Amino acid sequence: MSVTKVFIPRDTTALAMGADQLAREIAAEAANRGETIEIIRNGSRGLFWLEPLVEVETNTGRIAYGPVTSQDIDSLFDQAFLSGATDHPLCQGLTEEIPYLKKQQRLTFARAGITDPVSLDDYQQLDGFNGLKKALQMDGQTIVDEVKASGLRGRGGAAFPTGIKWQTVLDATSPKQQKYIVCNADEGDSGTFADRMVMEADPYMLIEGMTIAGLAVGADQGYIYLRSEYPVAYQILNEAIAKAEAAGFLGENILDSGKTFNLEVRLGAKAYICGEETSLLESLEGKRGMVRAKPPLPAIVGLFGQPTIVNNVLSLAAVPYILSNGGQAYADYGMGRSLGTLPFQLAGNIKRGGLIELAFGVTLRELLEEYGGGTFSERPMRAVQVGGPLCAYLPESQWDTPMDYESFQAVGAALGHGGIVVFDDTVDMSAQARFSMEFCVAESCGKCTPCRIGSTRGVEVIDRIRNDENRAANMELLSDLCDTMIDGSLCAMGGMTPFPVQSAVKHFPEDFNQPAQNNNGARS
């Protein structure tokens, strides 16, 4: 009797929608009915509105069913889902043919959801470690040149050219003969989950990318600084690192090359500021996450004072593809100076939220409408925050902006880490502006005054505006305060907190012109 393979993801969102219980119940029901199945806990495809997405392997490909709940199990078995029957109302057809997925250009997320994330066999069957094997035959400068040729820019938000950063670390001398690779996995922006998906769906890709970075610049130690809000990613990364070490892909004498690269996951402790690279390094050193003044750059004086590459998860995850297929193959995607692909993340009040990897240049409206399908609440969309809590809210008049770094900069917005948070027409933009300041109060490291004190004053000023106290004067004061924070803050925390505030004031002035209805953030 043949064994039917059933895939049920172990990704955070799938689990948050009940995947663990579902897997247990499907196993029990199969046993009940005398069916022989093998349940594989894969990563997510990133089609989060369909989670838990259950896939069944058939001769023609994997057939998807979702979102599956406990109540659907009987009918799925009754309607022969194990043989891939397509008449069940939850059947989405062949997974690869679902338009949301099919229209994407998946490079970084090519394996996501297809494989068991901790299976080394699965990873290698789909090109895994090809980049590492090539890198082991190259010298450091040649690896760095390949990354430069790809045009890859840091995916954490600042979009600094990755190859240039690597070159700086390669050229830096370390009296202690010690350099480090640090992966910034402190993905704190609301509306973003691409880093989490890499770590939960394809952790070996990150491990491979970091190892290649180590070979490139001569670093034998790497750290993944992971936010503690991601317990599932922590578990999967540690499983993957242990297996990669045991199989000789990591640790001493990698693939008998004589080269060494050790890797350790370190947990943050609920501090948004530690996503800022110098604060992250302080935290890794066991200190308060206080931002350091730059220069010196971390590439020259980084972790424990040594030359250090600090890259975002997505930047490092793009490296195996670049080494395997060549920098030019990567640069062939994208437009202008925004080359390659960016995983956009649709979140908040959206019908079909999930991860969409595309070349730069798609418009925001295409993402919101064609992929997202409108709001979850089915009310009109009103505001869209792109790039995280430090980036602007965009009104409908800006939704035709192409999604690339330069076009967004031109309208006073930023792509950040590619997160897109949708709000419907019940949103109160003065409450959102207040929250931006409130978040900065909670998360400022406190080193510089504009951020530490400015944010507190910002909350007070917006409260006065919302309470209709001396409105005109307070609006002017808010404008001044924003300028002071932008010009006078040490890092992006205080320097960018005003962006969502200013965009709310500029594009949604009506929400600042009347007393707030309540403090709940909803216009009633």
C-alpha span between 364 and 13 (Å, rounded): 24
SS3 string, 317-361, reads HHHHHHHHHCHHHHHCCEECCEECEEEEEEEECCCCCEEEEEECC
C-beta closer to other proteins: residue 75 or 228: 228
Per 3-state DSSP, the chain is made up of helix, strand and coil in percentages (nearest 5) of 45, 15, 40
C-beta closer to other proteins: residue 77 or 376: 376
Closest to 280 measured CA to CA, from 61, 491, 47: 491
Chain centroid, CA 80 distance in Å: 37
Q: Helix, strand, or coil here: 427?
A: strand
C-beta closer to other proteins: residue 48 or 81: 48
C-beta closer to other proteins: residue 377 or 484: 377
Q: Name 476's Cβ contacts closer than 8 Å, sequence gap at least 6.
A: none
Q: Are 380 and 344 in contact (CB under 8 A)?
A: no
Q: Site residues for other proteins, window 267-326 (CB under 8 A)?
A: 267-272, 283-289, 304
Nearest approach, Cβ of residue 474 and other proteins (Å): 23
C-beta closer to other proteins: residue 306 or 324: 306
C-alpha span between 458 and 446 (Å, rounded): 15
Q: Are 311 and 183 in contact (CB under 8 A)?
A: yes
Q: Site residues for other proteins, window 144-183 (CB under 8 A)?
A: none
C-beta closer to other proteins: residue 81 or 193: 193
Q: Name 503's Cβ contacts closer than 8 Å, sequence gap at least 6.
A: 392, 393, 394, 412, 413
Residues in the chain: 524
Nearest approach, Cβ of residue 337 and other proteins (Å): 28
- Is position 21 an interface residue for other proteins (rule: CB under 8 A)? no
Among 350, 386, 392, 501, binds other proteins (CB under 8 A): 350
C-beta closer to other proteins: residue 47 or 147: 47
Nearest approach, Cβ of residue 20 and other proteins (Å): 9
- Is position 502 an interface residue for other proteins (rule: CB under 8 A)? no
Among 442, 468, 470, 476, binds other proteins (CB under 8 A): 442
Please report, as a single letter, which amino acid is at residue 151: G
Closest to 221 measured CA to CA, from 179, 176, 249, 186: 179
**Strand order across the 91-94 sheet:** 37-40, 4-7, 54-58, 61-65, 91-94
C-beta closer to other proteins: residue 216 or 384: 384
Nearest approach, Cβ of residue 355 and other proteins (Å): 8
Nearest approach, Cβ of residue 88 and other proteins (Å): 22
- Is position 189 an interface residue for other proteins (rule: CB under 8 A)? yes
What string marks each residue from 216 to 255 as x (binds other proteins by CB under 8 A) or -? ------------xxxxx-----------------------
Binding site for other proteins (CB under 8 A): 12-13, 15-17, 48-49, 51, 187-193, 196, 228-232, 266-272, 283-289, 304, 345-350, 353-354, 376, 385, 389, 419, 421-424, 427, 431-432, 435, 439, 442-443, 445, 520-522
